[in-house]
């Protein structure tokens, strides 16, 4: 895709930092997103389980599947920090919500 020169005949300038990056997004279920959002807001896994009325093992299973889905699209998320970065990149959570 090319853009025409400006009125003075200068070629268009693109600032690569200003171009929004697009990342392949994993197909997370609504429940996986709900668990992830709770956990990223600082809640312990045990607190997430209690708040969502599910077992701690279920929370761990959701988080494992989320990590696997990110790995499948080539975006490692093996730590909580990495998951936070991915969630911010994908619009799952905002800094204001943390």
Q: Could you report the per-residue pLDDT of 36-94, keeping only the tens digit for each?
A: 999 999 889 999 999 999 999 999 999 999 999 999 999 999 999 999 999 999 999 99
Check residues 47 and 4 and name the one with the higher pLDDT: 47
- Both structure tokens of 23: 């990342």
H or E, element range at 78: none
Domain 30-97: state its class. Answer: mainly alpha
Q: What is the pLDDT of residue 10?
A: 63
Q: What is the pLDDT of residue 18?
A: 47
Residue boundaries of the structural domains of the chain: 30-97
3-state DSSP helix/strand/coil percent for the chain, to nearest 5? 50, 0, 50
Q: What is the pLDDT of residue 22?
A: 86
């Amino acid at each position: 895709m090319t853009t025409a020169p400006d009125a003075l005949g200068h070629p268009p300038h693109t600032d690569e930092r200003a171009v929004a990056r697009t990342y392949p997004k994993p197909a997370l279920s609504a429940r996986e997103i709900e668990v992830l959002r709770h956990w990223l807001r600082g809640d312990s896994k045990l607190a997430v389980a209690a708040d969502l009325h599910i077992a701690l093992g279920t929370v761990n299973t959701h988080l494992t599947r989320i990590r696997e889905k990110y790995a499948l699209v080539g975006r490692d998320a093996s730590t909580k920090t990495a998951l936070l970065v991915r969630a911010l990149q994908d619009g799952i959570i905002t800094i204001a919500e943390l």
